[in-house]
Each structure stands twice: as C-alpha cells, then as structure tokens.
Amino acid sequence: MAYKIKINDGVATFTINRPEMRNAINFEVMDGLEKFLGIVENDEKIAFAVITGSGDRAFCSGGDLSEFHGFRTAIEAYPMLSRMASLLFRLSTLPMPVIALVNGAAVGGGCEIASACDYRVVSSKARAGFIQGTLAITSGWGGATQLFTKMKNHDAVLKFLTEAKIHNAEELKSIGWATSIYDDTAEIGLHEFISTMKDIHPDVHRAYKKISIQNWKNTEIENRMLEEAEQCAKLWESEAHHKAVESFLRKK
C-alpha cells in the first residue's frame, strides 16, 4: 500500500509508503491522506497528528512526475493541484497540533506538505527546498500561501521560494522553517519532540490551535491556496515546464 495509518497512545501517524519513489505523491496517497483527515478530524482522543515518509532517504519528493506528467494543460492539471491544496488546507486546520516528521529529503510538494503542518521536526541529515522554480512552475498545493501566512519574515520566505534551492537542516532552521533538528532515529526524534509538549493537557493544545486557525480564517487562506493552485496550473502548460520534467524523467 502507498500509505500507512497508525494510531497509538493519542498520536495518529500518516506515513507515505513509496520509498523507492522517494515517497512521491500519487492519487493513492491522496486518497489515503483524505481517509486519514476524515479519521483525525472526528476523533477527540487524538492529541497529535504526524505526517512522515517511509525509509530514511525521503520525507516526500512532491508530486509523482511520472504520473502527473500526463497532464498537459492548465485545465487538466488544476483538479489534481486544487484537490491537494484542499487536503493541505484541511491538514493545516486539524484541531490538534500537526507535526511533519521530516525524516529525509522534502522537495517540491513535499515541502508544501511539511509547511502545512504546525511543526517541522527535521533530521540533521535531511535536505529540503521549494524546487518547483527549477521546473518552471510555482508551488501548486498552497504551500507558498501557508508560508506567507505563518512566517513573518517576508524577505526570507520569498527568497526561500524563488531561489528554488535545496537547503540543509541548519539552513532550514535559520530560515525559520525547521522547528527543531534531531540526530537520532525518526522515532526517537518524534518522541523527544512530543515529550516536551505531552505534559500539557491536549485540550490546551487544541484551544491554542483553534485561536491560530481563527486567525488564518480571517485571511481567507483556503481561497488563497486555491488561487495558488490556479496560478501553478497556468504555468504547468508551458513548454518550459514540460521540457524540465522530461529532462528529470529521462535521467531515470
């Protein structure tokens, strides 16, 4: 299966399970994420939600280019982009803290997924970046909107997006994207991060999360994420984008 869902001791974990494809997102993973959100949104006993990837090479390498390259026009690309933007809006507005356990490379849409979470707990060996610019597109799943809404250092965010570079863990921390860095296994990294918060009653976490969501709602974040998907769809149909993806796929 392309994903795993586990609920243990108040922690619900969604694992993208395509390590041989560096956990690229295809429609099966999207279906899984939708199922996960449906479960977590309605279970009062869940204190923390976690998103991670299988193996130690990648958190997520973004959209599966071999599957999505078939979309040639904006009209064809938009349903996939907007569906994922809506799922990431739901992820970002879950009633409990959401942790991206960035166990390895997070690029393109992988960075968008992590940006939709409240916290990014990053392996010291991980690399991450909004590399969409190198494919002649922007982020299309609402990730840039998430960053501009949550992070207040406009210049650093704009540079992070437009440079389209891959950064190491220390750089990610200084940009303000990584919340914390761990050296051990992902399991230990997560355990240590959660243990700093677990003593506080889950209702307190939920109450603060509600306040932050209220703040974002006033900024029309969902509409802005869908506009981001629309803008990306327009760039998607360009010759420059198709050529860049063909060049990536030829390297296979």
Q: Which stretches of the chain bind ligand LP2KCY5N, using CB under 6 A?
A: 21-22, 24, 57-58, 61-66, 68, 105, 107-109, 112, 131-132, 135, 139-141, 232, 248, 252
Q: How far is the CB of 144 from ligand LP2KCY5N (least distance, A)?
A: 9
Cβ atoms 3, 14 nearer than 8 A: yes
Q: Which is nearer to ligand LP2KCY5N, 41 or 67 (CB)?
A: 67
For 182-189, which contacts have Cβ atoms below 8 Å and span 24 or more sequence positions?
Answer: 182/121, 182/122, 182/123, 182/124, 183/123, 183/124, 186/52, 186/56, 186/101, 186/103, 186/123, 189/101, 189/103, 189/121, 189/123
* Smallest gap from residue 88 Cβ to ligand LP2KCY5N (A): 10
For residue 3, count other CB atoms closer than 10 A to its CB. 22
User: Cβ 179 to ligand LP2KCY5N, closest distance in Å?
Assistant: 21
DSSP character for 77?
H
Residue type, 110: G
Instruction: Report the residue number, 32 or 95, with the smaller CB distance to ligand LP2KCY5N.
Output: 32
Going by DSSP bridges, is the β-strand pair 48-53/11-16 parallel, antiparallel, or unpaired?
parallel
Closer CB to ligand LP2KCY5N, residue 11 or residue 225? 225
47 or 226: whose CB is closer to ligand LP2KCY5N? 226
Q: Which residue has the tokens 């940009």?
A: 175
Q: Which is nearer to ligand LP2KCY5N, 205 or 241 (CB)?
A: 241
State whether the Cα torsion 24-27-28-29 is positive or negative.
Answer: positive
Taking the complex as a whole, the smallest distance from the CB of residue 26 to ligand LP2KCY5N amounts, in Å, to: 9
**Nearer of residues 63 and 97 to ligand LP2KCY5N, judged by Cβ:** 63
Radius of gyration of the chain (CA): 17
Cβ at position 163, least distance to ligand LP2KCY5N in Å = 15
Shorter beta-carbon distance to ligand LP2KCY5N: residue 83 or 173: 83
Angstrom distances, CA of residue 47 to CA of 32, 44, 196: 20, 8, 13
* Integer Cα distance of 187 and 189 in angstroms: 5
Smallest gap from Cβ 29 to ligand LP2KCY5N, in A, equals: 11
Least distance to ligand LP2KCY5N, CB of residue 208, Å: 29
